[in-house]
Chains A and B, each alone.
Chain A
Amino acid sequence: MKKNWLSYPYLLWMVLFVFFPLLLVFFYSITDRTGEGLRFTLAHFRRFMEPIYLKVLTRSVKLALISTVLCLMLGYPMAMILAGNHFKRKNIMIFLFVVPMWMNFLLRTYAWMTLLERKGLINTFLSWLGLNPLNLLYTEEAVVLGMVYNFLPFMVLPIYSVLSKIDKNLIEAAGDLGANQFTVFLKVILPLSLPGVVSGITMVFMPAVTTFVISRLLGGGQFTLIGNLIEQQFLYAGDWSFGSAISMVMMIVILLSTSVITKYEKENEGGGLW
């Protein structure tokens, strides 16, 4: 295909705001500013290999994985309900699902704080029932809850859009050929919906593994994630080189995990996010 002049603005945009910043991050991550000037070094990456930073990385990946699995478990049935025909007010449902996303993400997270607090709504209700108040806020579970709540729409919407495009004749044909509902789901619906699942997983995992606001607000600064570490290097310690090195490692982790899942997806045919 010949290059269209329409593509140039996009190309320029990509170079200016994607390629160039990435190059800068890479440059910072392999250099060190000393009194005599710039020096190339891999020390920042070596520093990241220390147990303390690896511990933060494992914690981030673990929490992001848990959140992604939970989102999938909650999101897939939700998407099926939305895509199903038996539901009359489907559009209202989808609308209600998207409305919270119009609100600022920080506000939604702050709202959870007032719900989970020791004197918050949930604990007030529990003590009204005569139960002991629970320690809900500032726990690892609260961080996972925040991630699932904030990123669930990113799981539901891609799966929903794939499910609603499945040719209904295929399902009917499977039924005519004697498959029961479970077999239809397993052999027809599930394989056809995989592209949506893959982009859902990627779209939840990526923000979850890099978040720093949720872990600070709902985790009370006790569960340092990789995002918090990067933020600290840039805003607090002023060590841009180490911050860039962590960012590079993070990008590699994301790239690897998504390419694994996309490879699996390719073998099963269909387009994903890539």
Chain B
Amino acid sequence: MVKKWPILLLITLVLTTVLTLSSCGQDNRVVLNVYNWGDYIDESVINEFEKKYNIRVNYDTFSTNEDMYVKVKSGGSNYDVLFPSDYTIERMVKEDMLLKLDYNNIPNAQYIEERFKHLDYDPQNEYSVPYMWGTVGIIYNKTMVHEPVTSWRILWDEKYSKQILMLDSQRDSIGVALKMLGYSMNTLNLEELEAAKQALIKQKPLVLAYVGDDVKDKMIAGEASLAVVWSGDAVYMKWENPDLEFALPEEASNLWFDAMVIPKSSKHQTEAETFINFMCDPEIAFKNADYIGYSSPHREVQKMIDPELLADPTAYPADAMLESYDIFHDLGEYLKVYDRIWTEIKAH
């Protein structure tokens, strides 16, 4: 019995080597490495792309802009398409990390609404094609919260002690506190930031947890009464649990855009542009928007989408309302200050 082991091991080794080698030999398609947010695509779209263009897609996900940035910046990765948000695109452009897009390869970009082009983070529209957009607000469970949700202050109400979920994302959570206090989400004023820090430390005993994507499961299961969420996730949560409702506080909030970009480390620019173009195809863009529930900047999608969703201010708030909303800007050197504040809150 004992003597059989080496032979068995040898056979397994040989078999695995042969199998991996042969599978490599068969597949000489171009490999496109796509790095997107988790839960942010209808994955069948990837298969369609692979079949249509005979390109293999290596799909990988991240959970915050900062995760993605650090991974791309530190090198060693070879991503071809990224989906960062506004302020991160601004930072990557500043640091010369992105390739200029060749719009001849992205004819479908024409479908993007004008108001989503030439935004501050990419004024010439040279680097990015918008994918989704939205706001940040409060989702609450109507069976647990019996008052209108109109202000960020409700997240500091002791009545809801241990029933509040905050985002484990420094810009979003510090931003919420800044807005509650009436400051800009892009403030570089140290006194204002100190006030926001104190507010969040004061809030900490009331917070049930600082969460990421799991906020969706928690709210749907009724584990908490109130949570700070991105509008698109709110749409999905309302689908899953009709007791949930989304509110945009009167102090205004954050307006954000996620767009597709190609990092300089990409070795397949043309294929990456083909991918971006494919994602802007009306049918495909609709499929994604319909599947994840986020708001699309795509003109044709808005014609195809469920009229009920289009009328829902959760997903498509009125333009006038958004005027006072802050779009995140790159903080530059002040990022360290924000990081420090967040560490102090979390370690408190």
Contact = CB atoms under 8 A, between A and B. Distances in A.
Interface of A: 52-53, 55-56, 117-119, 135, 137-138, 219-222, 224, 228-229, 232, 234-238, 240
A53 B221 CA distance: 35
A215 B343 CA distance: 15
A221 B168 contact: yes
Interface in B125-153: none
Q: Could you say which interface size class chain B belongs to?
A: 20 to 34
B7 interface: no
Contacts of A117: 221, 223
Query: Among A53, A228, A235, A240, which residue has the most Cβ atoms of chain B within 10 A?
Result: A235
B64 A52 contact: no
Interface stretch (B65-73, B103-111, B269-277, B292-300): B65-73
B343 A138 contact: no
Interface in B64-90: 64, 66-67, 69-71, 73-74
Contacts of A118: 222-224
11 contacts: A52-B344, A52-B347, A56-B347, A138-B209, A220-B207, A222-B210, A229-B343, A229-B347, A235-B67, A235-B71, A236-B67
Contacts of B67: 235-236
A220 B211 contact: yes
Contacts of B224: 118
Main secondary structure of the interface of A (DSSP, over half): helix
Query: Among B162, B168, B209, B347, which residue has the most Cβ atoms of chain A within 10 A?
Result: B347
The 7 A-B residue pairs with the shortest CB-CB distance in the complex, in nearest-first order: A220-B209, A221-B210, A224-B347, A238-B70, A138-B209, A224-B346, A236-B66
Contacts of B222: 118-119
Query: Among B69, B168, B209, which residue has the most Cβ atoms of chain A within 10 A?
Result: B209
Contacts of B74: 238, 240
Contact of B346 (A222, A234, A235, A240): A222
Contacts of B336: 237
B343 A232 contact: yes
B238 interface: no
A119 B344 CA distance: 31
